[in-house]
Amino acid sequence: MRETALVYLDRSGGLQKFVHDCKRYNDSKQSYAVYRFVISINPSDIAELDATLGNCILHSPMQAARIFQSVCFIAIKTLSLIEQLQTEAQVSVLLKPTHLPPLPSYVLSLSAFPFNYTSERFYVSEGIVIAMGTVTKYTQGARFLCTEETCPLSEGFRYIRVHLPGATESATVRNDFVCSLCSSPLQEDMKFRVLGDKQIVEMIDAKVLNTLKGYSNDKSHVRIQAFTVFLR
């Protein structure tokens, strides 16, 4: 699947964009703990190249992101694109699908029962924005070091924590992480923290318009509830 991912990046122009992003990082005088890459993908085109990888992207996007992460790391090392990069954990890949299959199972509707949305995969959701919060910062990535000076992991980039979709802020940055080698506490190296923008949006299903217009659907009671969306 790694070979297919590389072939797709080359054919779709994603590889050229990736090399350009690497050059921007390499030319920067700033030191990074995490190098973040947003890769646009067309699931249908990938499925034609490799059905297994296409299915992985649609139904296990986090696993697919790790495949592209490995491909990007190998490319960076092979082509010497970012000199200061040390470990694969420093490469953060966000897969951005151009579209999803036009099938009901890929549509997230909070007005339909039952709510069988237990898989961590891509969905399309449409609604009406009724409220928007202010733009705030969140931690995209952080570097941790072992506090035991004699431990080999008290330096380098072994402990890199990257925010994953659906995770809380405390899953990325906390003060109770311990070293897997010596069990000493880990301490964040603040100068390598990577911040991003996030915004909280309140949405409501578009079907509420029919209720507000007074349309009758033979139901004696109608309950309307908003849902929260985190934009990162």
What count of other Cβ atoms lies within 10 Å of the Cβ of residue 202? 15
Give the domain CATH number at 68.
3.30.1640
| Same domain membership, residue 20 and residue 69 | yes
State pTM to two decimals.
Answer: 0.85
Do 5 and 85 fall into the same domain? yes
Residue 114 has a pLDDT of: 57
Provide the 8-state DSSP code for 213: T
- Together in a domain, 147 and 83: no
- Could you give the residue ranges of the DSSP H alpha helices within the chain? 2-12, 14-27, 43-49, 51-59, 61-79, 208-212
95 and 182 together in one domain: no
In this prediction, residue 202 carries a pLDDT of 95
Is the separation of the CB atoms in 57 and 95 below 8 Å? yes
Residue 177 included in any domain: yes
Decide: 97 and 41 in contact? Cβ < 8 Å. Answer: yes
- Measuring CA to CA, which residue among 35, 42, 45 is closest to residue 69? 35
pLDDT at 208: 80
For 58, the token pair is 């649609």
82 and 144 within one domain:
no
Domain-embedded: residue 133 = no
pLDDT, residue 34, reads 92
User: What was the pLDDT predicted at 32?
Assistant: 87
- 93 and 6 share one domain: yes
Positions of the chain with pLDDT under 70? 111-118, 214-222
Query: Which residue range(s) make up the domain with 27?
Result: 1-99
Report the distance separating Cα 159 and Cα 147, nearest Å: 12
